[in-house]
Amino acid sequence: MIAEIQHLDDRGAGRAEVWRENDKGNLRKLKLTIPQTLPGEKVRVTVDQPERKRRKAMPDEIVEPSPSRTEPPCPHFERCGGCVWQHWDYTAQLQQKTEHVKHAIKSQGFDPNLVLHTIGMDQPWHYRNKMEFTFSPDGSLGLHEQGNFRKVIPLEECLIASEEMVEAAMEVANWVKEYQLEGYNKDTHEGLLRHLMVRQSFATGEIMLGLFATEAPEGQLQIAVDELINRIGEKFPHVKSLLWLENKDWADRTQAEKSHTLAGRDFIYDEMDGFRFRLWFDTFFQTNPIQAQKLVDLAIEMGKPKNGETMIDLFCGVGTFSLPFANKVGKLAGIEIVEKSIESAKRNAEDNGISNTTFLAKDARRGIDQILESFGSPELLLLDPPRSGAGGKVMRRIGRSKPERIIYVSCNPDTFATDIKELEPFGYKLKVVQPVDLFPHTVHVECVAELILE
């Protein structure tokens, strides 16, 4: 059948509706999800079980391609689940992301004209400073197949990671094959190697390699591990942290019950906005440092921090925004529920000679109450919540605390829009929303917004 793509879903796949006759000759609507297609395209698809109302199908043929369709440069594109829009011209991707943000705030009654055009990248490739690869049961290293987390596509190259990161990952992959080490089987929960995390600072060049395994690096493994240490040390001088991370839990996450430092330190140094940060294997840090710097610059530009002001940084993490702002205000309080991140934030402030910060390990709502008791109402509040947003209770607590200016940094336009709607009854007005593309060739878009108390 021929279907015309009407729009894209929240995973970047095309959506189409077609009418078909059932066995009784009645017309029935069939809603199709068709990956790797673009709005306006006409595609030929084969649908199994057409009696169902919804089906997912890969395109057999692009009958009428979009003018913005382009040739994907990555050989893994059609199978890998990492980049869903490599077949789309980058300019068109940015426009789609702008429209997403506009639609999100319009749905909550805000003026979509407040949304500026998405800031893209001059070079939208090799932008990630962190990748997590997976081992298949036979020991092959790669990325998950699109829509199938039980199948791994063996890695040949990855165009969104730095070239040195991929080279280091391939060296580990070759070592695994030479020593015939088994990967982890998610069905039987047997096998040794689970994941390989590769992290690199674009500022310092330092690399971290973290192998997640179900056993300690000892006994019969010792010879193989010693060889890996020697090989990485000789070929990759930028690797300043080589870790072996024990993870025996059934959950498929890059977590560790015990950490072994095979070579170097258990962290690497990174820099942003002139500040130095220590990054451990489980430290959250923006994965696109070039665009993350633009987020910081925009936040400072919109926030207009002044000497002597009080500021709260909500969901502060390791202090990515806290440190640049702390240099420009009188005192700053950072709140974050993850205790390890707060420990890192304190250490990062100390490393950078910043002494006017207070960091509190508490959930956002209770943390605000505690800080307000000692700090009073802040002139400026910044929040950078997870994809799930801050939530109504936190936003209403922010509204009651009456900061003069609020800067909201968001990684999810939909939860951002519902969050800021909660501030309207408290007299806040949305002034501007600036989307920023941190993840080219994916559906994700960040944004920085300014709200003021009128």
Which positions are catalytic? Answer: 411
Residue 132: CB atoms within 10 A of its CB come to 15
Question: 171-181 burial string, b = 16+ CB within 10 Å, else e?
Answer: bbbebbeeeeb
User: What whole-number distance in Å separates Cα of residue 118 and Cα of residue 128?
Assistant: 19
**Residue carrying structure tokens 């971290």:** 208
Contact between 96 and 81 (Cβ < 8 Å): no
Distance CA 172, CA 353 (A): 38
d(CA 259, CA 267): 12
CA atoms of 441 and 449, how far apart (whole Å): 23
Sorted by sequence, the CB contacts under 8 Å of residue 350 that are 6+ apart come out as: none
Say how far apart CA 279 and CA 447 lie, in whole Å. Answer: 24
